[in-house]
Structure 1
Amino acid sequence: MNQSRQNLKRIAIWQPYFMGGGAEAVSLWIMEALAPHYNVTLFTLNFIDFSQLDTLYNTHLTHQNITIHPLLPRSIDTQWINALIANSPQIRFALIHWSIRAFKALTADSDLVFSTYNAVDMGQPGLQYLHWVHVVDPQPKDNKGWNRLIMNLSGFSLEKLKQNQSVANSFYTADRIKAEYGINSRVIYPPVITEMEKRPWEEKEDAFLCSGRIVAAKQTHRVIEILQAVRDRGFDVKLHITGGGGGTYKRSYEQKIQGLADKNSDWIQIYQDLPYKDYLQVLARCRYGIHSKPEPFGISVAEMVKAGMIPFVRDKGGQVEIVGAHHEELLFDNKNATAVEKIVQVLQQRDRQMALLESLKKQQSLFSTEKFISEIQAVVAEYFQN
């Protein structure tokens, strides 16, 4: 390490694993923002390959001066650990708290500790970026038995968690943070790529995009049901489903969705683990988006807006901030029939489509990688000034 970098402040980042999804994207782009200006060390359970993650998330970390500190021995198979994390909540919880214990022991002399994986007691006050509440610490009613035993392993303190400065991924999440922890947080929307091809509406496919991990929580099956009903109303729309990030998750649901796609191959296509540049091509081709799960934020919905699509989303959650609460005709409740009616109303009105596209342009400026980088850099700079 050269002399100039030796003099930089040392930031220790805690992100226990990388298995695909928006939280991992935030962690990677936080490192993108900080690495040029600080000595950054990433503490994670397994060794990770920045070149592979750069391909998936369009980051440039391979060429940054970042130290990766895996907490588990390199000899332990990463896929095996990821499978345990994905399929066993108890083992995932235990590994998370074991990694917190190790992180505390290794970072006492850091200038800043930074959790990019939600609220956590890091042994000293620091920064924490929250994607949701009670992820690392269980709800009070669940804080017993196994959970209490494991939290004792890391010496977890709710009071120390509350001493951190908090950043939230949406105002929706910030409200929940205030309600659950009694602490304020600064909202910094996750990074959304701006390098997108903007095709004219006439050149796009009459197709919907459903983007994100193919897991039951994302309700991919509901998206298929909704669009099948739209097709039954006489609209020959297609559906492109993109699985996210290359994570290891329960396969039964994924197989169920693949089976539905195979039966309806004339209008459904699934893309798994696309490199980001290929994912952007799919984004550019679709006129519409659909997202059935209420999200704390919903980075895939923000990507849809940035790409010049018309997204239909649930009427509660952070994705409402992305689309804009005033676009009521794009928000549907938990009934499939409501979603079908709202989609049909927009599909049959060309003038309304054009008006929505123009109005949605105002939402695009809320999200970019550049805005995210500058806001993260500002939060860290202010932390060191205080």
Structure 2
Amino acid sequence: MKTQVCIIGGGPSGLMLSQLLDLKGIDTIVLEKHSREYVLGRIRAGVLEHGFADLMREAQCGERMDREGEIHEGFYIADNGTMSRIDLHKYSGGNSVMVYGQTELTRDLYEARDKMNGKVIHNVEDVHLHDLNTDGKPYVTYRSGDDIIRIDCDYVIGADGFHGVSRKSIPKDVLKEYEKVYPFGWLGVLSRTKPVNDELIYARSQRGFALCSLRSQVLSRYYIQVPLTDKVEDWSDDAFWEELKTRLPEDVAARLETGPSIEKSIAPLRSFVAEPMRWGNLFLAGDAAHIVPPTGARGLNSAASDIYYLYHAIMDHYLNGDDTGLDQYSQKALARVWKAQRFSWWMTTLLHSFPDTMAYDQKLQQTDLEYLFSSEAAQSSLAENYVGLPF
């Protein structure tokens, strides 16, 4: 097989890039190791910055998002029972975020690829990347049953996540990795219940962090901070709801609607960046190159900025003969990635309880929150980062 761009990974990043390039007449093949059903069964975040929503519309995939998604112009921070609102619209120059589940977003992208007869190949095994940094063109091989299939291409895009093959294909003496592992995780519950609030609530309490989120007006997503030693089996639904209530303001806890969990999981929190994001004709995107704690809602949105840069760079190469975007991709993408890392780290340290925290650290954390709500400049900085920095 031959294509212009071979994309490793059939999640939202890979599908989005494939869709955008196809609309410009640039041929792609997407390889995904899991089945389509598995990809659509993953429960992920659902807060989209305004730039990501615009990219969905440009990819001609935004119709259902605009119809069913919810525009949020603010969110709340609860500090030991006291609720304060961050006005995103006011402090970010009129911008907002879109609340729309990643599963639904991925479904929209799959349907768009189907309509254009896009090449998305599932259940591929033993993917290997070849000749990435030579004078010749790269190629990708994978196994399908007993057959080894070869795809010749001009460029390989690694959008196959943290555990994928793409980043591991860069030599160790070239790749530099930065990582911070946090001493807690998030226990998340998805329930078919009415959201407790019309906007997200980030709650800080003596018992630890909690988040009240939503997917729709009948589907809610809640999280509580738990030790890394905890297991999902340790938490019954009743135990989760009771603990969540203790971390919320009393009036919020009183109106919390509970019910059986549809999905329950614990996600460890880490910050990770790999540099460079380009090696020869291989370009990394999304979780293959960087991971952030979910506190600042930057994960999927950081991947979207990678796709934005790659889309324009590849389009300029094929349509205009201009390789400037390709040559500058790693530097440009990493500049925005590190800003997202800083913001997610700041939100995480601001709102979580850390083991063995000194009284001094607790005082600084409290002072930081008090300063935030006493300063319009501080709220503007938070809002600007939350709705998404310019691409």
Length-normalised TM-score, structure 1 = 0.39
Structure ranking higher in helix proportion:
1
Length-normalised TM-score, structure 2 = 0.38
Higher RCO structure (Cα 8 Å, ≥6 apart): 2
Structure ranking higher in strand proportion:
2
